[in-house]
Structure 1
Amino acid sequence: MTKLLIVDDSALMRKCLREIFEGAGGFEVITARNGRDALAQVAQHNPDVVTLDINMPEIDGLTCLSEIMTTSPRPVVMVSSITAKGAQVTLEALELGAVDYVEKPGGTVSLNIDSVRKELLVKIEAAARAKPRRTRGLVQRVRAVSEQQPKVRPAPSNDSVGGIVIIGVSTGGPRTLEDVLPELPSDFPWAVVVAQHMPGAFTASFASRLDKICQMTVVEVTGPLPLRRSHIYIGRGNADVIIDTRLGRTIVNSVGEDSTFLWHPSVERLVKSAMRATEPGRLVSVQLTGMGNDGAEAMTALRKAGGRTIAEHESTAIVYGMPAELIRLGGADTILPSDKIAERLTSWIM
């Protein structure tokens, strides 16, 4: 039985969410009407998972989340509206340690709640198996990033790309990518392409925030771009990101979702496209936290063809599904905690 705390200032939303989880079976449901009430319920009932709204009176969702993740970490799934402003705040929540998010249905809640019923159940069940990390000191860092201006970096004297690092990541990704990408040096001679499962409303803000904390330049891929060394490319959400060649030059591009693949941006499709565009010896793939198996088969094929692969170690993976599947298939050259991956990439490539 999973003990679930639902936090929302709307009595109707609390009622609808309670009915979904109690109707599914396997959940003991507790509710809270705001952040202050939520902290009291966490202390009293010690829930396994929390769903958390963002805009609430007394104590808002971000403040409540930061307190939970600092004092008594547990899986938290944000249930919020994904407007432009809401996406920015939800992204902050993911960086503070929330493991996932579900977009609130628009219009009349009681009529439209069924549209997210399956997503809610899948994500809460996955969250119950997640391993969140304590975030002491991270709140100030996340706020500081929001206030920073983009860095001015000198253009490299030679922008030719030695090779491509491909990173696949899903649930828990924003927090985990902060363990890896900022540690890559500004003169890293390869390009890095990231397929992070994420809606389109998030990826521009996500790339902008990463650019402020990374030594390399970070951009969102919204169309064809020539691959340049010392650049990190974030695939646009609600689309797929691929590697291709045009006029003899390697490019990265954003293309429409291929329904053959279950998750988007698809890690599997990205790796396969890279193998068609360049030789395996110029590719390294990294499989980070996430549920499911997206990318595992293609990365295994890459390793067999002569490319190199890294799987995140279970000790740091918030959700161990994607790296575990790569390891199960025999597709991992090496298995490392997230805070050691940048060092290994640097030693391999520089």
Structure 2
Amino acid sequence: MRVLVVDDSALMRKHLGSVLQGHELAMARNGREALELVETFCPDVITLDINMPEMDGLTTLSMIMIKRPTPVVMVSSLTERGALATLEALNLGAVDFVAKPGGSISVNLINVADEIRAKVEAAGAARLRRRGTSGVAARPSDAPAASVRREPAAVRTSVSIDFAAPGGPSLVLVGVSTGGPRTLEDVLPKLPADFAGAVIVAQHMPSNFTGPLAERMNKVSALDVAELQRPTPLKPGTVLIARGGADVVVSRRGKELYAIPCPASEQHAWHPSVERLVQSAKECCNPEQLTCVMLTGMGNDGAQAMTEVKEAGGRTIAESESTAVVFGMPADLIRRRGASVVLPSDEIADQLVGWVGQVKEEQDGFDKA
């Protein structure tokens, strides 16, 4: 595989080249050199620094996607500014990102070498998604504009829901990894303000990135979207994005269900852990109240737990290969026969509304028999 490494730091280029040994490599010191090599070297994957002189990473990425669309893995700092720039890069078409290590590059890069290799190799097989598309067709013209939020529904209040009541709304659990931020924009903004389910999203990300991601999703969604920072009661019409680098579990407190942040479990490889989230929800809810969605990502996090939900009477959606940036997680759910339906990302919200419905005048709670 041909890999183009773009970074203004000679030391960083050297160490990335060492990590990616075995691939055919080319090096660029800035965006202008990168654009030339995109045409002459024809890379299969590009690693791209965000902060560079002459032409920054975002500008370079935009030009790459115009001149010769190529899978790009961004190399980003873990600062708030770096997180915002990385989310913008993912929206522009980057497949994934790796966190640029602080301190001694030669020492700290060793700690993420396996992650870098895995993400670059996954990017080589990734499906590129252009901004404004879901991988198959453009977003419908009646989708909410990116800069406009609809007014919240009147039913959304701070009143607690009686979770001991019979029946009740769905708890929607979303697992997503590589390619997730862009894919979530195909799903969350299409859910109506009076959506009858409470939504929890486990997106594999470092802790500095999920806050900006939640803010971005909140701006384009009719639902209230927030990063989970403390034990929070679950309410219809809200979306909680689990804090990166940690886990989230669902727990019952009297008549209410809570989403509770907790330290990352050593028993799970990815965080926030989709598997742990779904397993905890199974212990608190009737299976028929659970709706699980498996979106793009490497690996198999959550596939076993979602399969068990389906087998117990719950409902599950796997994103189809036609739109998944990386088909690993949904493919594993399908392989286990754990998907109730398989859908492209731009059809998932409609399926959720069809299954879960919209808030009635009186909303029942989550019940566990």
What letter is aligned with 2:307?
T
Q: State the SS of the aligned residue for 2:222.
A: coil
1:328 matches 2:335: yes
Candidates 246, 264, 280, aligned match of 1:257: 264
Secondary structure of 1:335's aligned partner:
strand
Structure-to-structure mapping, 1:297-308, within 5 angstroms:
297-308=304-315
Q: Does 1:217 pair with 2:224?
A: yes
SS in 1 for 2:283: helix
Matched, 1:314 2:310: no
- 1 or 2 for the larger relative contact order (CA 8 Å, sep ≥6)? 2
Give the direction of change, closer, same or farther, for the CA distance of 1:134–1:191 in structure 2 (3 Å limit). same
Partner of residue 103 from structure 2, selected from 103, 107, 113: 107
Correspondence 1:120-159 to 2 at 5 A: 120-135=116-131, 153=152, 155-156=154-155
Task: State the distance in 1 between where 2:191 and 2:272 align.
Answer: 23
1:51-66 aligned at under 5 Å gives the runs: 51-66=47-62
Q: Compute the RMSD of aligned alpha carbons.
A: 1.9
SS at match of 1:202: helix
Task: Trace 1:23-38 onto structure 2 (pairs within 5 A).
Answer: 25=22, 27-38=23-34
2:362 counterpart residue number: none
Q: How many residues of Structure 1 are paired with residues of Structure 2 in the alignment?
A: 339
Residue identity in the other structure for 1:44: T
**Matched residue of 1:87: which SS?**
helix
Residue identity matched to 1:246: R
Distance between the aligned counterparts of 2:316 and 2:82, measured in 1? 35
Q: Which of 198, 203, 206 in structure 1 is aligned with 2:205? A: 198
Supply the distance in 2 between the matched residues of 1:329 and 1:111 (Cα, whole angstroms).
40
1:8 maps to a residue whose letter is D
Q: Does the residue aligned with 1:257 lie in a helix, a strand or coil?
A: coil
Q: Which runs of 5+ in 2 are unaligned?
A: 135-144, 162-167, 358-369
- Secondary structure (helix, strand or coil) at the match of 2:112 reads helix
Paired position in structure 1 for 2:113: 117
CA apart distance, 1:211: 0.2
Distance 1:119 1:238 in 2: 14
Give the SS at the match of 2:196: coil
Q: What is the letter of the counterpart of residue 258 of structure 1?
A: S
Give the TM-score normalised by structure 2. 0.88
Which shifted more, 11-20 or 152-161? 152-161
Give the alignment's TM-score, normalised by structure 1: 0.92
Could you report, residue by residue, the CA deviation over 1:122-180 in whole angstroms, capped at 9, with x for unpaired residues?
11111111111123699xxxxx96xx698763552566461211110001000100011
Partner Cα distance (1:213, 1:223) in 2:
23
Q: Which residue of 2 aligns with 1:49?
A: 45
Q: For 1:233 and 1:339, how far apart are their aligned partners in 2?
A: 20
Verify: 1:168 aligned to 2:175, yes or no.
yes
Structure 1 unaligned spans of 5+: 139-143
CA distance in 1, matches of 2:190, 2:207: 26
Write the deviation string for residues 166-196 of structure 1: whole angstroms up to 9, x where unpaired: 1100010001000111000011011111000
Q: How far 1:98 sits from its partner (Å)?
A: 1.4
Corresponding residue number in structure 2 for 1:227: 234
Deviates more, 1:71-80 or 1:49-58: 71-80
Deviates more, 1:285-294 or 1:249-258: 249-258
SS of alignment partner, residue 20 of structure 2: helix
Query: How far did 1:92 drift?
Result: 1.4
* Partner Cα distance (1:349, 1:153) in 2: 18
* Percent identity over paired residues: 53
SS in 2 for 1:277: coil
Distance 1:112 1:269 in 2: 29
Offset, 1:109: 2.4
Q: Counterpart of 1:187?
A: 194
